[in-house]
Amino acid sequence: MTRIFENQVMPSDVLVDIGCGHGRVINHWLRHYSRNQIIGIECFHDIAERTRERLKSYDNVKIITGNALEALPENGSLFYFYNPFGPESVQLLKQQFCKLLNRDQKVKFLYYNCRHVDIFECDPAWTVTRVNIGGGAASPFSELAILKMS
């Protein structure tokens, strides 16, 4: 996970994990970026509740229960998402990103295991940088896409 976030997180970033599940990425952020505000979004109520309960002692962590298409925080500056999504969901997510963001904002999206990155690559409003972060047993997928609005 270090390779995904290395040189990507600034001290002022509000970190958003789309589909945070049990909080594996949030745990990493707490170890390495403990001063940043951290927001996790999870659509499954039971999982979100357990994660919220487990992380309640961290004042800088907020877990939102809901659909990311409706719950994206406006103050987020670095959004992370892993690809469990189909192309339709990625297209809808991209549309929400566009509605949410002012192009003057410095916002980054880190899309790991970016199977549907072509949805961003064919859109001139987006700049896509593909990064091979290496694979192996601990991180079986090697491709990360860094997405920014042009």
Burial class of residue 72 (count of CB atoms within 10 Å of its CB; 0-12, 13-18, 19+): buried
d(CA 92, CA 51): 26
Predicted local distance difference test score (pLDDT) of residue 148: 92
Residues pairing with 18 in the sheet: 41, 81
Determine the structural domain holding residue 123 and report its residue range: 2-149
Give whole-number Cα distances, 6 to 1, 9, 35, 140, 145, in Å.
9, 7, 16, 18, 13
Structure tokens, 121: 């690559």
d(CA 149, CA 104): 9
Identity of the amino acid at 11: P
Q: Based on the structure, what is the number of domains in the chain?
A: 1
Of 95, 97, 85, which Cα lies nearest the Cα of 16? 97
Q: For 27-71, what is each residue's pLDDT tens digit?
A: 999 999 999 999 999 999 999 999 999 999 999 999 999 998 899
Predicted local distance difference test score (pLDDT) of residue 86: 85
CATH number of the domain that residue 59 is part of: 3.40.50.150
Predicted local distance difference test score (pLDDT) of residue 141: 67
